[in-house]
A = this chain, B = another copy of it.
Amino acid sequence: MTTEDRILDACESLIQERGYFGFSFADVAGEVGIRKASIYYYFPAKAELGKKVVNRYRNRMRVVCEDWFEAENLDVGEAFKAFMEPIVTLGRKPGAACLCGVLGGEFQSLPKIVRDEVSEFFEEHQRTLALLFENGRNDGVFRFDGDPKALAKVAFSMIEGSFLIKRTQNDLSVFDDAVANLDAMIGTSQPRPL
């Protein structure tokens, strides 16, 4: 792995743990095993480093959905599973939280280039989720009433909130219950009589 990637990895886990203002170049350097100054060879400023970290996270969380958009013959249920996969991985890791959920708390004072990446993360995740819900209902995979967009907002809020709370309570069941409830909301866990 390149030094740049190791810097990004260290920075990502540090932000996830402490937030943007809670980590320093000294922390990153210490974790990677280089000196503070060396970081500037790869990133000209902290904001640029932060932006890159969020951008990379965004792409990683999104990739499965891109695939689905391109291969339209894919089953919606499978696409939804793929969408949830990285979320569940994060949710079942005790100390972990969503990078953008954490940054959302500091949102108002983040550097603009970081803030924009965070906004984009939430926007595109909600857009994707709404599209999955809408198509899934049309295909008979999901069952729910009302606007898919509104449901997407609510579902994603629930996931993000459960990330934060499960960590403060050291209780993974908060996340599990959220996922179970999401399944119930889209009708994939509690089949009702037709």
Q: Which residues of A contact B (CB under 8 A)?
A: 17-19, 21-22, 95, 97, 100-109, 115, 118-119, 122-123, 145, 150-151, 153-154, 156-162, 164-165, 167-169, 173-174, 177-178, 180-181, 190
* Residue contact B164 to A101, C-beta cutoff 8 Å: yes
> Are A109's CB and B161's CB within 8 A?
no
A119 and B157 contact, CB distance less than 8 A: no
Cβ–Cβ contact A153 & B165, under 8 A: yes
**Are B107 and A168 in contact (CB-based, < 8 A)?**
yes
Evaluate contact between A105 and B108: CB separation under 8 angstroms. Answer: no
18 residue pairs of the A-B complex, CB under 8 angstroms, read A18-B108, A19-B21, A19-B105, A22-B106, A22-B109, A102-B105, A102-B106, A107-B168, A108-B167, A119-B169, A150-B173, A153-B178, A154-B162, A154-B177, A154-B178, A156-B165, A157-B158, A157-B174
With A19-B19, A161-B159 as contacts: A104 and B153 at CB distance below 8 Å? no
